[in-house]
Amino acid sequence: MDDIEIIGLFHQRDEKAIAELKAKYDKLCYYIARNILSYREDIEECINSAYYELWNNIPPDEPNDLKTYLCHTVKNKAMDKYKYNSAEKRNSKFSVSLDELADCIPDYREGNGEEIVLAEAVSHFLREQTELHRKVFVRRYWYGDSIAQIAEYYGINENTVATYLFRVRKKLKEYLKEEGYNYE
């Protein structure tokens, strides 16, 4: 079943929408959540919460890209669970990748619209990068892959991956400054 048909099931309030969503995207959701969370129970809870949120939000939300909408929701749920689990401790591999981005992307809280403009600016920036640099960046900061995983996935040296990430973060910071994001 394609995404438009699944969205149609949501509009009809047909519970088959969740089953179809799970059948099509459960492995991807698990992959995203697993790169942020450590425990199977937390991962499953996060994914189920994301499905429930989609059930409650479609309609009125009208996602143009169901896969991206779902992945974004799963990632947010996983990040919320991660923050809850690590309120007193910071030792996760994912916190390292978040710390890397902290130097180049300002921290905006969702709800006031500024995060949407920032996200569009980052997306525009990434579209201007080479395909490999963009893919390495997305695998690290969207999917939460380690540098070793990225190196293996693309068949390149770990130092090369680290260099790509460093250079793209540096360019991103400069780009955002040009766009008016002077937050330092």
- Quick: pLDDT tens for 55-102: 999 989 889 899 999 999 999 999 998 888 776 554 455 555 666 777
Question: For residues 121 and 172, what is the distance between their CA atoms, to the nearest angstrom?
Answer: 10
Beta strands in the chain (DSSP E): none
> pLDDT over 90 for what percent of the chain?
58
- CATH 1.10.1740.10 in the chain: give the residue spans: 3-88
Please report the pLDDT score of residue 113 as a whole number.
60
Sign of CA dihedral 129, 156, 39, 22: positive
- CATH 1.10.10.10 in the chain: give the residue spans: 94-178
Question: For residues 34 and 29, what is the distance between their CA atoms, to the nearest angstrom?
Answer: 8
- What would the CATH number be for the domain defined by 94-178? 1.10.10.10
Has residue 140 got a pLDDT over 80?
Answer: yes
Q: Is the pTM of this model over 0.95?
A: no
Tell me the pLDDT of the chain averaged across its residues: 86
Please report the pLDDT score of residue 161 as a whole number.
93
Arithmetic mean of pLDDT, 109-130: 78
Q: Are the C-beta atoms of residues 63 and 105 closer than 8 Å to each other? A: no
- What would the CATH number be for the domain defined by 3-88? 1.10.1740.10
- Quick: pLDDT tens for 151-161: 999 999 999 99
Question: For residues 23 and 56, what is the distance between their CA atoms, to the nearest angstrom?
Answer: 19
Task: Name the nearest CA neighbour of 52 among 32, 68, 74, 37.
Answer: 74
